[in-house]
Amino acid sequence: MTFIPKYNLIEELKWRGLLHDTFPGTEDLLNKEQVSGYVGFDPTADSLHVGNLVPIILLKHLQSAGHKPYALVGGATGLVGDPSGKSSERNLLDKEALLYNQACIKKQLEKFLDFGAKENAAEMLNNYDWFGTIGFLDFIREVGKHISVNYMMAKDSVKNRLENGMSFTEFSYQLIQGYDFAHLYKNKNCKLQMGGSDQWGNITTGTELIRRMHGGEAYALTSPLVTKADGTKFGKSEAGNVWLDPSKTSPYAFYQFWLNVSDVDAEKFIKIFTFLERNTIESLIEEHQKEPHLRKLQKVLAKELCCLVHSEEDYEMAIKASDVFFGNSGAEELLALGKLPFVQAVEGMPKSTLINRVEGFPILDLLSTDTTIFASKGEARKMILAGGLSINKRKATDPNHVITKEDLIFEEYLLVQKGKKNYFLVHFQ
Partner RNA sequence: GGGGAGAUACUCAAGCGGCCAACGAGGGCGGACUGUAAAUCCGCUGAUUACAUCUUCGCAGGUUCGAAUCCUGCUCUCCCCA
Nearer to RNA, 212 or 401 (CB): 401
In the complex, what is the shortest distance from the CB of residue 386 to RNA, in angstroms, rounded to a whole number? 4
DSSP, res 310: S
Pairing of strands 413-418, 422-428: antiparallel
Residues in the interface with RNA (CB under 7 A) total 29
Scanning 12-20, 149-157, 207-215, 293-301 for contacts with RNA by CB under 7 A, the matching segment is 293-301
d(CA 274, CA 295): 16
Position among 376, 397, 404, 405 found at the interface with RNA (CB under 7 A): 376
Contact call for residue 260 and RNA (CB under 7 A): yes
Residue 427, classed as helix, strand or coil, is strand
Position among 25, 132, 292, 338 found at the interface with RNA (CB under 7 A): 292
Nearer to RNA, 351 or 382 (CB): 382
In the complex, what is the shortest distance from the CB of residue 292 to RNA, in angstroms, rounded to a whole number? 3
Give, in order, the Cα–Cα distances in Å from 90 to each of 84, 95, 156, 213, 303. Answer: 11, 15, 17, 31, 37
Position among 262, 372, 397, 404 found at the interface with RNA (CB under 7 A): 262
Nearer to RNA, 167 or 422 (CB): 422
Position among 212, 228, 271, 382 found at the interface with RNA (CB under 7 A): 382
Question: Which are the contacts of 302, defined by CB distance < 8 A and separation ≥ 6?
Answer: 255, 256, 257, 258, 259, 318
d(CA 398, CA 364): 10
Position among 387, 397, 404, 405 found at the interface with RNA (CB under 7 A): 387
Scanning 52-60, 76-84, 90-98, 258-266 for contacts with RNA by CB under 7 A, the matching segment is 258-266
Scanning 77-85, 105-113, 118-126, 385-393 for contacts with RNA by CB under 7 A, the matching segment is 385-393
Question: Which are the contacts of 292, defined by CB distance < 8 A and separation ≥ 6?
Answer: 263
Contact call for residue 383 and RNA (CB under 7 A): yes
Nearer to RNA, 338 or 419 (CB): 419
d(CA 280, CA 290): 16
- Find the binding residues for RNA in span 303-322 (CB under 7 A): 322
In the complex, what is the shortest distance from the CB of residue 372 to RNA, in angstroms, rounded to a whole number? 12
404 — phi, psi (to 5°)?
A: -125, -175
Contact call for residue 249 and RNA (CB under 7 A): no
Contact call for residue 377 and RNA (CB under 7 A): yes
Contact call for residue 364 and RNA (CB under 7 A): yes
- Helical (H) or strand (E) element with 31: helix 26-32
Position among 293, 358, 398, 411 found at the interface with RNA (CB under 7 A): 293
- Nearest-10 crossing angle of helices 200-214, 173-188: 50
In the complex, what is the shortest distance from the CB of residue 406 to RNA, in angstroms, rounded to a whole number? 24
- Find the binding residues for RNA in span 393-422 (CB under 7 A): 418-422
Question: Which are the contacts of 320, defined by CB distance < 8 A and separation ≥ 6?
Answer: 337, 341
Question: Which are the contacts of 219, defined by CB distance < 8 A and separation ≥ 6?
Answer: 22, 23, 25, 26, 29, 35, 191, 192, 193, 207
Contact call for residue 326 and RNA (CB under 7 A): yes
3-state secondary structure 51-72: HHHHHHHHHHHHHHCCCEEEEE
What is the binding site for RNA (CB under 7 A)? 256, 259-260, 262-263, 292-293, 295, 298, 322, 326, 364, 368, 375-379, 381-383, 386-388, 418-422
